Chain A
Amino acid sequence: MRNTVPEPRALTAAEVVQRGGDALRHAPTMRQVRWRRATLYMRRSPVGIAGLILVGIVVLTALLGPAITPHEARKTNLLTRFAPPGTIDANRGLHTLGTDQLGRDVLSRIIEGARVSVVVGILSSLISGVLGVAMGLFAGFYGGWIDNAMMRLTDAFLAIPYLVLVVAVGGILGPGVVTLILILGFTGWVSYCRVVRGEVLTMRQQEFVTAARALGQRDGVLLRRHVLPNVMASIIVLMTLQVATSILSESTLSFLGLGVQPPTVTWGGMLADGRQHIGGAWWLATFPGIAITLTVLGTVFLGDWLRDVLDPKLRV
């Protein structure tokens, strides 16, 4: 007996549904598509890889903190003051990046200082993100005099030089981590507001908004369900870049003595010490600055890469 090939025939309706269902079940979800695109971009982009590695190192350092410092970051030792990088001290071992004016290990202090930068950077840009996005949505969606008033307010905040504002507020409210996060959070919203407002302004004219309106959706739901997801890409990119700005501002304020105070270790505070002793101990003024620069650079790289992944057309 020979095997017979079945006659070709039209599929029944039930089979079409069955096969369609199979295809859908095996099709990649949106999330998988995004993930594939992200890994593809990552493999193609050395800058993205560099950003991810740098940020990964900094975040890990901040999380582990005191657990991975070679020495105790706040322990002074007046016998080993101003030891240059690479000094091996009989009692305490190697000081890879040297010691400061009180004999504290510089590498350990840089590791411990990562914590303040990361926490302040992330929390303050979250606060300013929520504020700025809310205001931008509001201004762009309602337009008219609300938009006008909001734009003049952002003009005013752009007119006050950022650091002047932050320094003045910091000086009046006094130092402290929480105050610092609030200051940077409440002053950094302008760029979010502008970008979100611009995007919402053009989105307002599009069909899906009109359709949602016609279906009788309330403004709040419409904004949250339909408008917000469409500006999310810009928000994520902006937020990453804002983390970089916040870290720079935090280190500046701590350098000026208006930010986080000793004994909490900050990179800006370490650089202030470095300025005092710049004639004799070059390493004090050098290494914390490299830490800041690499952190900011990594964050900016990550932001650029995110922009490529989420929407290459974005102009943020």
Chain B
Amino acid sequence: MSTYILNRLAQAVIVALIVSVVVFLLVRLKGDPIELIAPPEFTQEQIQGLRVAWGLDKPLNVQYAVFLSRAVKGDFGDSMRSKRPAIEFVLDKLPFTFLLAGVSAILALLISVPLGVLSAVRRGSFIDLFSTSAATVGAAMPNFWIGLMLILFFSVNLRLLPAFGSESWQTILMPALTLSLGVAARLARMTRSAMLEVLGQDYIRTGRAKGLADRLVIYRHALKNAAIPVITAFGLQLGFLLSGSVVVEQVFAWPGLGRLMIEAIGTRDIAIIQAGVLWFSMTVLAINLVVDVVYTLVDPRIRYA
């Protein structure tokens, strides 16, 4: 058990190192990143000075070592435009993204699990047909467009909810709903097929045969076992949630990490871009690690070598 967790941890560290290499190379895709950093009005000497200040005159492996040792301490260099450390910007915006992703995750669960269970239990019914087709169409819609449609409906037509910003509690409703729908669609399909598989098992038939109430069979015996693949899928979907937050934050002007990154790209602020990508990835890694560990604790049948 503990060796499994240690193994898993070592794996995560290796993956984190590979991610750091990818992020390091990312800003060097076009060759010399100095072209991205330096303002166009800079003279040759000023550019040279900047190069030395950023350590870009050193060989690539030395640059990476410096980048890594600083990044571990949370130092990604100063933002180009306002001379504050990039990490401060990221930490300012992080709570907004986590709040949005958290609310969306809960919403997605609340929508998808009941729908999935219901359509599995009443297979072939109207509810099943409705939820399966809604899930198929939902997964095919770009999430920013779902956002636009919600704005059109709730803000423009009904004038119920504010379309932009983050001032009142109502402002989170639409972005969270937007972000959750795509994930809910995939989770509902997953829940449905997991439930169908469990409902076909012998022990369910036994339970029914000995006269247990339907509710008891479905919730106590079936759902508990179907929960395992759903939890795995949910862990993976959290990555999609964070991915989707980039564009959804842009649609609703939600001041999170995704919006910060888009702004940073607009101003070519590579310190913030690097810090942002790395923070996003580390969050996903941490979530996957936690899901895997919780998984072994929850399901006693799983034994890892």
Contacts and interface: CB of A to CB of B under 8 A. Distances in A.
Interface of A: 152-153, 155-165, 167-173, 244, 248, 251-252, 255-256, 258, 268, 271, 274-275, 278-279, 282, 285-286, 289, 292-293, 296-297, 300
B30 interface: yes
B29 A173 contact: yes
A282 to B, nearest CB: 6
Nearest to A156: B18
B149 A160 contact: no
B132 to A, nearest CB: 11
Contacts of B266: 171
Q: How large is the interface on B (under 10, 10 to 19, 20 to 34, 35 or more residues)?
A: 35 or more
B265 A171 contact: yes
Nearest to B251: A275
Nearest to B36: A172
B15 A159 contact: yes
A164 B276 contact: yes
A172 B246 contact: no
Contact of A252 (B144, B156, B277, B281): B144
B262 A162 contact: no
A167 B246 contact: yes
Given A155-B15, A173-B30, A167 B265 contact: yes
A151 to B, nearest CB: 9
| Interface of chain A, main secondary structure | helix
Nearest to A299: B140
Contacts of B148: 271, 274-275, 278, 285-286, 289
A152 B17 CA distance: 10
Contact of A271 (B36, B145, B240, B264): B145
B11 A279 contact: no
Nearest to B18: A156
B127 to A, nearest CB: 20
B19 interface: yes
Given A170-B265, A278-B148, A278-B151, 16 more contacts: A156-B15, A159-B16, A159-B285, A160-B280, A165-B277, A169-B29, A171-B264, A173-B30, A252-B144, A271-B145, A282-B152, A285-B149, A289-B142, A292-B145, A293-B142, A297-B140
A81 to B, nearest CB: 19
Given A156-B22, A278-B151, A164 B27 contact: no
Interface string B23-51: 10011011000001000000000000000
Contacts of B149: 285-286, 289
Interface in B76-109: none
B256 interface: no
